[in-house]
Chain A
């Protein structure tokens, strides 16, 4: 394990500086994030790990402009997200961020193809035909584009969600437990695709997970405990991650 250096906020794709998020007020107030400073480099695949209640989901929501922090700053490629209006954050999410969720979150009334191009439709942009064809081929969705989500398996649905996140060439893809609802084989496929997107397309990916196997696909793991950064692992593998998590649990 390395000691954590000051985050290189200026060069990072997305970064948090002294981020604090408090839920509730008075005696029942909960500090979900308690001064988190962390940067995520471009074309890197980072996993955020921690036990339940460590603040990893809150951190992701704040980084992605889905939630607003109580204090501190969020920088997306040098753009300040803190204190922005809902309208600006909406545009940022639409144009610069992609999402993959644990429960897929496809629109049931749209076909797979329509689901993939939905964010571009909302932005009024045409999809990059070449990229779209590449993604469909890589994700093996060629014969599934006309199907609706209810006609697809979980793994297929998550691959559609991946295509949706990647097709707009966002600056950062945020993945929230993307393998949580999948069997191990489908999960491995999804993680491989995420890692390949980093390697082949230069995509920046930030993934929240509690699964050491999933985290092992990442270039780097950021550990969170009680709303603070509790450590980092470079070039993680399943063993180092499991050890780190055990250490973290023992310290509490």
Chain B
């Protein structure tokens, strides 16, 4: 009996491979994603290794390693004298301060197998005091071949001349890179030690013999082979990749949970279609256990097929994509063939599918044998949920609320210094997980109230809208199962969107303070020659918004004769007019208002306010040396002040305190947009500075760009990962619609018979499919927005609460459109079936 029943179920499944794939589509996608992630990790690791611009591959031996006393210059000479050493290159990098800014001077032979640079213009330096630079460095620092500047480094405290003899290309161009042969660097900077020495052995000589001779020559220095060093560098790089993929793994696991939920719901539908057949088997004597075993076996078969197809398609794509990318000139390596991982993914797919199928199989096997004798179309799905499930769901919901309340009670208080976000963050994650499973349990009860609200406009549109809403409302369990997965995706995405927006605001605020303009001309502690300031102000063509400012480092705050605060030296104080710069003009405040500025008013950053114990509205005495001015605190900033100023004061008050009229710095924005505008601005400022001693130029815009790019990249990566869950949700809606169309073919036939047109039926089914998206996205936003806000607060980064309405509305619409599109194909298929055929189908 057991074998026979098993055969009836599995052969039916095997005879319709299309149906099998449709049932397991979510598992297929999940297997694809999981194995795809494994392959992408391999591709990334291999690409990182293969394109590592570290130690040249030809290096045989490396002397010295971080953490031990470095090889001395004498060691380098002795190593070169060892027989069998073809070439020995000392590697060292030193920071050089030059008038134009900062240079990272690195030693490199410039030619031969051990070089890492390529000369593109001029000649490679060979004398001390000669350097070659990268193109971006030339542009940023205003240097070119033939220019002479001077700088200090390390032991070299009096400026020594540096002449640019050539331009070189390197793997990474940071914009402050200079190169020279090791001998020139050592001689110019008067170095006594280097970081390490790379050796190349004369061809035909035993590396081991050379190694022993070198060990004897430089006693005590660690020696590693070139391969060893490269391996260590690759490991370090791969470790970074590995850390990133741990994070990816978290999101992939969420996607797998979503897939399990989707496949549970699809099996429920598939088994509901077979209720009569199962009842018949029960009627002729099959036991419940037999039915459960047969249905579970079918689930295992589905999981196996889905897993194999998913892994195979990931493998195909994983090999095809790098090949295509390489053909178009990208350096991307192919993955290996991780057989163990592939087998594990397939087994995982089978296990998860079997777990997912258990609940539907158990409830399907509970069918009464009498069901076989009943008229077909009267068996409607159960509408409510059992008492056990209700109690369980309510318990979960209460747990989620308690955990959320716990999180709120642990949120950082204002001014709280030692806040540890670990505990509240864990509570919040726990609360989110509990809320999600509560949603899974109580979903069928939520569908109808949510539908009553979101379905209202549809019902007004006429019979088709009413039918669609009725179709969903009539099967709340199915609607809940699919919508919950959509809700999970929307919750995650809305969290990322809100978190990203908060992070962006935080980064903007941070940047407005540390990089309030594109450029800063700074006197490094002194004052700017007035001619420089007037030349900068005259450069209208290239510069916009030139804002000079004064800064003193030692202003004190007094009440009566008592100094406020614990700081010995006083607070950095500036008269920068924040209203003149768009970035600082939009600063938000913790207390008071920025409009209340002027003589006799000061603005404090949060740290100074805390240190001095002042609040907005307090009056206090600002003192510099022996002079004093009485002022009132107009506002307190939520964090640091612009240019890291502790106090912002009015220029008139600084005058009264006896601060000299000469400016200490100038902020300016580029007049033109993009890289060209920035370069023009840099040129104009260099001309304005001329040869003034001690005056430096900083391109703050470069920092800002790097920061913006980082935030954007992070948000996009997060959206991409969360997108996996949304993909599974959409697949779930598509397969649910497809299966429910099959299940309801008689219903479709009846509607066609009594006068529903083809396009009407198509519209109705597509709208139903879109409604899953509407319900899911509504629940998702209702849950996601508060949780995201709570999460931002929990991180304790003082980010404001934001509701980026446009992206959230876009997300809602996109989800609804995607889920509606998922229903288009099944709806088309249903509308093509002739009503006579549809009515003739045994239901």
Contact = CB atoms under 8 A, between A and B. Distances in A.
Given A61-B836, A105-B750, A150-B380, A110 B758 contact: no
Nearest to B374: A154
Interface residues of B, number: 32
A87 B843 CA distance: 27
A122 B474 CA distance: 18
A66 B836 contact: yes
A31 interface: no
B754 A118 contact: yes
B677 interface: no
Interface in B451-498: 462-463, 466-467, 470-471, 473-475
Given A95-B755, A121-B463, A108 B746 contact: no
A230 B314 CA distance: 65
Interface in B750-779: 750-758, 760
- Interface centre among A64, A99, A124, by most B CB within 10 Å? A99
Interface string A123-155: 110000000000000000000000011100010
Interface string A83-119: 0001100110111001101011111111000100011
Contacts of A219: none
Contacts of A106: 377
B377 A90 contact: no
Which of B376, B835, B843: most chain A CB closer than 10 A?
Answer: B835
A64 B749 CA distance: 14
Nearest to A148: B380
A179 interface: no
Nearest to B837: A67
Nearest to A125: B463
A122 B377 contact: no
Contact of B758 (A64, A86, A119, A122): A86
Interface residues of A, number: 36
Given A91-B755, A119-B755, A149-B377, A107 B462 contact: no
B713 interface: no
Interface string A70-91: 0000000000000000110011
A123 B834 CA distance: 20
A190 to B, nearest CB: 14
A103 B375 CA distance: 7
A109 B471 contact: yes
Given A90-B752, A103-B377, A122 B746 contact: no
A30 to B, nearest CB: 15
Q: Which of B467, B471, B754, B834 has the most CB of A within 10 A?
A: B754
A90 B757 contact: yes
Contacts of A101: 750, 839
A148 B466 CA distance: 16
B52 to A, nearest CB: 62
B378 interface: yes
Nearest to A92: B755
A108 B378 contact: yes
Contacts of A9: none
Given A86-B758, A87-B758, A90-B752, 9 more contacts: A61-B836, A66-B839, A95-B755, A105-B839, A109-B473, A110-B474, A118-B463, A123-B755, A157-B378
For the complex of A and B, the 4 pairs showing the least CB-CB separation, nearest first, are: A109-B474, A94-B755, A121-B463, A108-B380
Interface of B: 375-380, 462-463, 466-467, 470-471, 473-475, 746-747, 750-758, 760, 834-836, 839, 843
